[in-house]
Structure 1
Amino acid sequence: MRIRSNLGGPRPRAARLAVPIVAFGLVVAGCGAADGTESVEGLSDALGTSSDINPTNPDRIREGGNLRLATTTFPANWNTLSNDGNDGEIADMERPLMPRSFTTDAAGQLSINTDYFTDVQLTNTNPQQVTYTINPKAMWSDGTPITWADIRSQAAALSGADKRFLIAITSGFDRVATVERGVDDRQAVMTFRDHYAEWRGQFSGNMALFPKSVTADPEAFNHSLVDHMGPTAGPFVLQSTDRTQGRIVLARNPNWWGTTPKLDTITYSVLDHTAWVGALQNNELDAVRLATIDEAKTVRNTSGLVIRRAPGNRWRHITFNGATGSILAEPKLRVAISKAIDRQGIATATQNGLVENPRPLNSHVFLQGQEGYRDNSLGYDPAAAAKELDDLGWKLNGDTREKDGRKLVIRDVMYNDPTWVQIAQIIQQNLAGIGVGLVIDTKPGAGYFTDVIQPGDFDTAQFIFSGDAFPLSSLPQIYAYNPDDLQGNYGRIGSPALNALIDRTISELDPAKAIDLANQVDRAVFEEGHSLPLTQSEGNVGLRADIANYGSPGLASYDYTTIGFLK
């Protein structure tokens, strides 16, 4: 599943997650040894093979303490299943609060999360049937047990059958025929109408299980978690929130049935990303995501701080607006423009010195290092782009192309962050070379998705998606086009043929065949000019040296009960 994020830090599956990068100019200052400047040790090139969290036996971790983290905005909606709450930073905050059926290791391999489920099995394939057996100790923070009814309620809400539920993603629940009580209230038997390949991700990865009090009716689903969190079920609970002060505090759950957490509290402060490293230096924060070589150098040169590094699961991209009336409504026009964007140049400018081998991400589906990753991109070819624009009737008139009296000038919208602006400036130069104008239009983080992206107030838009171990589940959410149910397809781009191919892909229970089909989907997405992947995040995290079991996890899940400070 993908969660979105307007920034580049602490979050699309559709991937929505967020953290900005601080870097000015068209090339990051001091970003590589090639220009005589100092670089920071690079990362491994492959995601899915590494995790850097200072793994430590819990016996060596002291009891208590407050882990101080940062977030860029206060949650617009604590319901991450909803379109307004489908944000990576919110999802990060809720991971120690909400149930998930599986945990993952650095390679994305799955294990049943036994705090919540004693068993999760595919018990039939014709029809497909999955049986969830819930841990008999599992309960919500209001004292009610977690039961099959919670699973049934969430499946119904996310099915898409009732359009009043403003869901972010169906996650295969549109394929579920029934959810029935099993041997007792602690067992749910889910029967599918159509096969669903990513059934393991329906309550895992970026998708948590919520109580039926949140998912039972549209009003509760859409609005009950706007101002506060509802019942939770994790090692931590939401202790307090202060929107005015920008402070969110998680504390130990006194009714937690699992291993007692080492930490007493986790505190999130709302700060612009440009202030994160300074706050870390000043002992106001304990860990922050790093975005530039200068940030990494600052952390490395500060006593008591270290850098943890493993390739990240967030990725930057450009979404095109193909809605009727948009200047980019023509697919061939979008494709031509995409061929003129130097994604390798963007990778080099923003990541040189932060990774060993800066390179663009060449898939909409898989992250580098994940099984199934292939380069399905159309390549960088400005000469071909210029010819294609000529063939489409967009002729040069001075420095800018025109057609039917309309200038080919597009408005690129992004969160007001230096790295996003830097990327836009590179694209601006690229497109100027083929006679396309680009206007850089920066927006504040607050309301970026609800007020700008969701309504389609852009020609191109930049934000971040967050991947997980269940990449196929986001295909219908982002790349299928259903005018009455956009979900994460903010560019309103697609076709019946692509919808059918996506349907085949997520219906395939053979993993190898599903991967092949997913790569066909990816190529088709490139060929329709839906969006353009840019770079995968570097995954660098600066933090205090005495923090254990936390840092840069790659695809791995955190065990929030073991995170803490060394004795």
Structure 2
Amino acid sequence: MRPTPAAAWIAATAATALLVTGCGSSGQDSAPKKAAPAVDGQDINAHPLADIRQGGTLKTAITQWITQYNVNTVDGAQGDAQDIARTVLPDLFDSDARGAHHINPDFLVSAKVTSSSPQTVEYTLNPKATWSDGKPLSWHDFRTQWRALNGADKAYEAADTSGYDQIAEVGQGAGAHTVKVTFKAPYADWQRLFDPLYPAAHYGTPAAFNKGWSEKVPVSANAFRVGRYDRTAQTITLVPDSRWWGRKPKLDSITYRVLDFTARTDAYLNREIDYATALLPEDYKRLAKTPGTDIRRGARWDEVHISLNGGRGPLKDPRVRQAIQHAVDRKGIDEAFAKDLSFELKPLDNHFFMPNQKGYKDTTGGYADHDLEAARKLLDAAGWKGDGTDAPRTRGGSRLSLDYVLSAGSTSAQVDQAELVQQQLAQVGIKVELKKVPANDYFNQFVNKGNFDLTSFRNVDAVYTSTLTPGFVRPRNGNLFQNFGSVGSPKVDALLRKAGEATDQATAAGLYNQADAELWRLGHSIELYQRPEILAVRSGLANYGAEGLADIDYTKVGWLKK
């Protein structure tokens, strides 16, 4: 998940970008709606390497200055940080357009389950693979990463211990370049572990783990390395690594520049960046008619939701969170967003699976139905009394007031989204104050620390379903993991653990969906829709664009010969 792995995480991630909604201008509403891209849909202008010239720069935008390159911490789970880390660190597995995982031969000769009782995985490393300090990749790196992430030592500020906490031992295999990983319990998504891999010399203590990757990459091992950090210009530049043992990259450099979403269309038109999101009609109309531009579409794992913070204030009461779920008109938000889109927008009724993905089902159980009367009754039961008007409810002399945190870099459409939620909650007596914060602080100082009542962002690229686990498990010992709203239960924790151990895909999907039904009952977060992937990309840029479920191979990205 890339918010996250995520993330990825938590895109997270998982995560990177904020919610993009469109209550904006018309322009495509007379055009017939196309079907959304298939689950394996991608559009990258694929070309053989012989068609690509040597040299040139790829200029791209990121949401914020990267303060942490350890993707296994909460701040490092931010999506742009994950993208850069996977480009400069060992990337053991890559997914294709269907989301299937394959070893990366630059780092692995093989990786396979050699025993099921107990589950044992053996990796054979590419003997040419070395860190930038000259040390070869080895089993020591695997063992050190496991010890940092298995949850045994709370001094390591790990964003996600799932999977690693099911490992019993990591050691050397039969040869100098082999690694043997033995599990205590089966773990279906074992391929997501140790990817990317970090060097033992810079990961073996809590200080190295927590702070050693702050604003820098001390050691790398991939086709590219960081050539320059320019905080003044808010740019990070990657260049080919002369030590690289694999296929030589076509590009001379990749430049990441911090840009607000509101600035990206103009930046593309001014040739300051080489791709921009063309999702909103007002952006699409300007970008699509630009000479030398392709509109590329794909089906990415990409969900948009509203987070509810059950860790503070009125939202500690699950009845208030449930009331918000009933008061928010998800259909109205989706329709406002989709009004001018060129293809269908499907509703999202699941936290774990996309509508075009195997395992998807409606798990809302009625808790997300738009029902103002149900919302009012829940608030009454929670002791928040209203006078029958839209005035804020009160309890014990306090008003029912919540903040909705947005980045100062939000687009007008993102503000429209927040204002729509503000209006909807006012109908049941909940006052919402919009709070804009600096773009560079939005995740690090607000989302990641649970410093909000309501906020909205995306989780992307959760091709491994288990990467979503840290977003839903209960916080422990002050560590939120990626459950920024602190809403969870022992039942959810147990179901997610069983799902992670299930090696049968259908069984795992059933367990994830059971956990999801409980998350809707708890009022964890409000899913809105699967975000379409529509990008404006320079026509001459090959092997890059709307990747869908696939990972980017930056050694193949480049500019076509004229």
Equivalent residue, structure 2, for 1:414: 406
How much does 1:329 deviate?
0.7
Equivalent residue, structure 1, for 2:173: 182
Provide the rounded CA distance (Å) in 2 between the counterparts of 1:440 and 1:127.
52
Provide the rounded CA distance (Å) in 1 between the counterparts of 2:49 and 2:34.
27
One-letter identity of the residue aligned with 1:217: T
User: Is the partner of 1:327 in helix, strand or coil?
Assistant: helix
Provide the rounded CA distance (Å) in 2 between the counterparts of 1:470 and 1:213.
28
Provide the rounded CA distance (Å) in 1 between the counterparts of 2:476 and 2:78.
22
One-letter identity of the residue aligned with 1:479: F
One-letter identity of the residue aligned with 1:439: E
How much does 1:47 deviate?
5.6
Equivalent residue, structure 2, for 1:388: 378
Change (3 A) 1:314 1:522: same
User: Of 281, 292, 309, which residue of structure 1 is paired with 2:297?
Assistant: 309
Change (3 A) 1:275 1:11: farther
Provide the rounded CA distance (Å) in 1 between the counterparts of 2:127 and 2:457.
41
Equivalent residue, structure 2, for 1:442: 436
User: Of 501, 506, 522, which residue of structure 2 is paired with 1:507?
Assistant: 501
The 8 Å contact of residues 28 and 342 in structure 2, kept in 1 or not, is answered as no
One-letter identity of the residue aligned with 1:76: T
Provide the rounded CA distance (Å) in 1 between the counterparts of 2:162 and 2:302.
19
The 8 Å contact of residues 541 and 557 in structure 2, kept in 1 or not, is answered as yes
Q: Kindly indicate whether residue 23 of structure 2 is the aligned counterpart of residue 27 of structure 1.
A: yes
User: Is the partner of 1:442 in helix, strand or coil?
Assistant: strand
Equivalent residue, structure 1, for 2:70: 79
Q: Which residues in structure 2 correspond to 1:334-345 (within 5 Å)? A: 334-345=321-332
User: Is the partner of 1:132 in helix, strand or coil?
Assistant: strand
Equivalent residue, structure 2, for 1:494: 488
Deviations 1:221-266 (A, max 9, x none): 1111213212111111111111111121111121211111111111
Equivalent residue, structure 2, for 1:353: 340
Provide the rounded CA distance (Å) in 2 between the counterparts of 1:108 and 1:380.
34
Change (3 A) 1:3 1:148: farther
One-letter identity of the residue aligned with 1:17: A
One-letter identity of the residue aligned with 1:380: H
The 8 Å contact of residues 138 and 146 in structure 1, kept in 2 or not, is answered as yes
Q: Which residues in structure 2 correspond to 1:228-307 (within 5 Å)? A: 228-307=216-295
User: Of 450, 453, 470, which residue of structure 2 is paired with 1:456?
Assistant: 450
User: Of 157, 168, 179, which residue of structure 2 is paired with 1:166?
Assistant: 157
The farther-off stretch of 401-410 and 170-179 is 401-410
Provide the rounded CA distance (Å) in 1 between the counterparts of 2:37 and 2:375.
31
Deviations 1:12-55 (A, max 9, x none): 243133235777xx821126415xxxx6x866425622011011
Provide the rounded CA distance (Å) in 1 between the counterparts of 2:93 and 2:314.
44
Q: Kindly indicate whether residue 358 of structure 2 is the aligned counterpart of residue 371 of structure 1.
A: yes
Deviations 1:442-490 (A, max 9, x none): 2112122332223322211222222331012322x11110331321111
One-letter identity of the residue aligned with 1:464: R
Provide the rounded CA distance (Å) in 1 between the counterparts of 2:360 and 2:439.
31
Equivalent residue, structure 1, for 2:515: 521
One-letter identity of the residue aligned with 2:116: T
Provide the rounded CA distance (Å) in 2 between the counterparts of 1:308 and 1:434.
42
Provide the rounded CA distance (Å) in 1 between the counterparts of 2:503 and 2:400.
45
Unaligned runs of 5+ in 2: none
Provide the rounded CA distance (Å) in 1 between the counterparts of 2:176 and 2:73.
26
Equivalent residue, structure 1, for 2:143: 152
The 8 Å contact of residues 2 and 459 in structure 2, kept in 1 or not, is answered as yes
Provide the rounded CA distance (Å) in 2 between the counterparts of 1:94 and 1:228.
10
Q: Kindly indicate whether residue 55 of structure 2 is the aligned counterpart of residue 64 of structure 1.
A: yes
Count of residue correspondences: 553
Q: Kindly indicate whether residue 11 of structure 2 is the aligned counterpart of residue 16 of structure 1.
A: no
The 8 Å contact of residues 71 and 77 in structure 2, kept in 1 or not, is answered as yes
Equivalent residue, structure 2, for 1:105: 96
Provide the rounded CA distance (Å) in 1 between the counterparts of 2:34 and 2:2.
23
Provide the rounded CA distance (Å) in 1 between the counterparts of 2:151 and 2:208.
16
How much does 1:134 deviate?
0.9
Provide the rounded CA distance (Å) in 2 between the counterparts of 1:419 and 1:18.
17
Provide the rounded CA distance (Å) in 1 between the counterparts of 2:19 and 2:490.
38
One-letter identity of the residue aligned with 1:80: V
The farther-off stretch of 524-533 and 225-234 is 225-234
How much does 1:396 deviate?
1.6
Equivalent residue, structure 1, for 2:471: 478
Change (3 A) 1:454 1:226: same
Equivalent residue, structure 1, for 2:209: 221
Provide the rounded CA distance (Å) in 1 between the counterparts of 2:301 and 2:385.
41
Deviations 1:373-423 (A, max 9, x none): 222123322232223333333332242322333322211112231333211
User: Is the partner of 1:396 in helix, strand or coil?
Assistant: coil
Provide the rounded CA distance (Å) in 2 between the counterparts of 1:291 and 1:172.
36
Q: Which residues in structure 2 correspond to 1:131-142 (within 5 Å)? A: 131-142=122-133
Provide the rounded CA distance (Å) in 1 between the counterparts of 2:199 and 2:315.
42
RMSD value, Cα: 2.3
Deviations 1:292-321 (A, max 9, x none): 111111111111112111133332222111
Provide the rounded CA distance (Å) in 2 between the counterparts of 1:42 and 1:267.
36
Report the identity percentage. 34
Deviations 1:83-107 (A, max 9, x none): 2211101112233212222211111
How much does 1:2 deviate?
4.3
The 8 Å contact of residues 43 and 354 in structure 1, kept in 2 or not, is answered as no
Equivalent residue, structure 2, for 1:94: 85
Deviations 1:167-197 (A, max 9, x none): 1111410111100100123111111122222
User: Of 277, 302, 307, which residue of structure 2 is paired with 1:319?
Assistant: 307
User: Is the partner of 1:316 in helix, strand or coil?
Assistant: strand
The 8 Å contact of residues 23 and 336 in structure 2, kept in 1 or not, is answered as yes
User: Is the partner of 1:294 in helix, strand or coil?
Assistant: helix
User: Is the partner of 2:171 in helix, strand or coil?
Assistant: strand
Q: TM-score, normalised by structure 2?
A: 0.93
Q: TM-score, normalised by structure 1?
A: 0.92
Change (3 A) 1:170 1:131: same
How much does 1:154 deviate?
0.6
One-letter identity of the residue aligned with 2:102: S
User: Of 543, 549, 556, which residue of structure 2 is paired with 1:549?
Assistant: 543
Provide the rounded CA distance (Å) in 2 between the counterparts of 1:300 and 1:154.
45
Provide the rounded CA distance (Å) in 2 between the counterparts of 1:22 and 1:480.
26
The farther-off stretch of 218-227 and 415-424 is 415-424
The 8 Å contact of residues 237 and 253 in structure 2, kept in 1 or not, is answered as yes
How much does 1:355 deviate?
4.8
One-letter identity of the residue aligned with 1:240: R
The 8 Å contact of residues 9 and 468 in structure 2, kept in 1 or not, is answered as no
Change (3 A) 1:78 1:212: same
Provide the rounded CA distance (Å) in 1 between the counterparts of 2:55 and 2:70.
29
